[in-house]
Amino acid sequence: MASNDFTRDEIETGRKLFNVDWQFAAAAATLESLPKMRGVEIAFAGRSNVGKSSLINALTSRKALARTSRTPGRTQELIFFNGGGELTLVDMPGYGYAAAAKSKIAQWTDLIERYLLGRANLLRVYVLIDARHGIKDTDVPTFKVLGSAAVSYQVVLTKTDEVKAADLPKRIAEVEAGMAKYPSAFPTVLATSSETGAGLQDMRSAVARLLAERKG
């Protein structure tokens, strides 16, 4: 079975996992303000304006759970969401470009790195890549930090609705080839669109599989 070929049980478990009353749980701008660890966390990372908040909203079927903005760098804290169960979703500040002072961006970067290094219940980071552009130089430092922190991570392509259907398989293959040099990266890519809903079932199923593998 290929890594992204999910069983009916995984699909149904994934649907139920996200079909709950997700709510804002906490926001942390400093290491000291991080909420206490409970259950497991999955985090969403990526360049500014790549669609992290939109993907979280789409996965949870909540239009305004995570705040979205056309202004890159609007998310300035680690934002935690919980649906009452063991799973917490974490929206991370975007990197690459932000409408903020360099000192503020440096503060976010330090917070993210320390969070990744010290969060024992962080199960996986999903690194979002805009399907229109593929991997950028600004993504590489994040891959290296995740590798140094020994955090499992997987690339998720966003905005696939803005790529011609005939070109998408090639873009997926290009990104998977580019990620092959990073041993901590999961080998397959998830392709999604928050606008059309494409790939959301696979994304939910992937999280369900991840939780099942953790329990053994």
Residues in the chain: 216
Please report the pLDDT score of residue 68 as a whole number.
Answer: 53
- The pLDDT of 154-183, averaged and rounded, is 96
User: 3-class DSSP state for residue 40?
Assistant: strand
- The pLDDT of 124-133, averaged and rounded, is 96
Its pTM stands at 0.91
Q: If one looks up domain 8-215 in CATH, what number appears?
A: 3.40.50.300
Where along the chain do its domains lie? 8-215
Helix locations, the chain, DSSP H:
8-18, 52-60, 102-118, 140-148, 168-179, 200-215
Least confident of 95-99, 121-125, 198-202: 95-99
